[in-house]
Amino acid sequence: MRTAEILTGWRVYSQIADRLRARIADGTYPAGAVLPSEAQVCAEFGVARNTARRGLAVLEDEGLIATIPSKGRVVCGAPATPYRYRQIADDLRDQIAQGTLGPGAAVPSEADLRRRYPASRNTVRQALAILEREGLIVAEHGRGRFVRV
């Protein structure tokens, strides 16, 4: 951990993102490395936790880092196994883009998806939730999920 380096001025979170981005670029945090925790970033830069989160979110939005449950924020670029729910969501997204699942088509049921991709119900639901947030599919109570028209 580095010594406290208190940041001040306008948009402190972007300054945090800039400093961490530079460390990723110079190899201090190579691909696959775990970044310091939010608490460590707070202590290092003398900022509130929300400010640290915003700085880390900038890097995540840029695709430089990814948040991995039970591990923390990891520098991207290392060959890593993507989470199963992301694989499922990516595959369904590709099917929608290619027209295999056209507008108004029924999305396979959770049970079908669980059989197709050996995954738990929660994993399948997480993948479907991503597609719903992206506006690619809609859920109709009692009928199922459908590709948005």
Q: Do residues 138 and 105 lie in contact, with contact meaning Cβ atoms separated by under 8 Å?
A: no
In the structure, what pLDDT confidence band is assigned to residue 41 with cuts at 50, 70 and 90?
Answer: very high
Residue with structure tokens 């310091």? 36
Q: What is the pLDDT of residue 125?
A: 93
Q: What is the pLDDT of residue 25?
A: 86
Let me know if the fold of 12-75 is the same as that of 84-147.
yes
Q: What is the mean pLDDT of residues 49-57?
A: 92
CATH of domain 12-75: 1.10.10.10
Q: Do residues 52 and 46 lie in contact, with contact meaning Cβ atoms separated by under 8 Å?
A: no
For the CA atoms of 113, 116, 117, 118, the dihedral, rounded to the nearest 10 degrees, stands at: 100
The long-range contacts involving 77-81, CB below 8 angstroms and separated by at least 24 positions, are 77/31, 77/32, 78/31, 78/32, 80/32
β-sheet bridge partners, residue 68: 72
pLDDT of residue 141 exceeding 80, the answer is: yes
For the CA atoms of 101, 105, 111, 117, the dihedral, rounded to the nearest 10 degrees, stands at: 0
Mean pLDDT for the chain overall? 87
Q: Please give the model's pTM, rounded to 2 decimal places.
A: 0.49
Angstrom distance (rounded) from CA 37 to CA 112: 39
Q: Parse the chain into domains and list their residue ranges.
A: 12-75, 84-147
Q: What is the pLDDT of residue 2?
A: 52
Angle between helices 12-25 and 38-45 (to 10 degrees): 110
CATH architecture of 84-147: Orthogonal Bundle (1.10)
pLDDT of residue 27 exceeding 80, the answer is: yes
98-139, pLDDT tens digit by residue?
999 999 999 999 999 999 988 899 999 999 999 999 999 999
Q: What is the pLDDT of residue 95?
A: 94
The long-range contacts involving 128-132, CB below 8 angstroms and separated by at least 24 positions, are 128/89, 128/92, 130/85, 130/86, 130/89, 131/89, 131/92, 131/93, 131/96, 131/107
Alpha helices by DSSP H, listed for 26-146, are 38-45, 49-61, 84-98, 110-116, 121-133
pLDDT of residue 88 exceeding 90, the answer is: yes
Q: Which percentage of the chain shows pLDDT scores above 90?
A: 61
Q: What is the pLDDT of residue 4?
A: 53
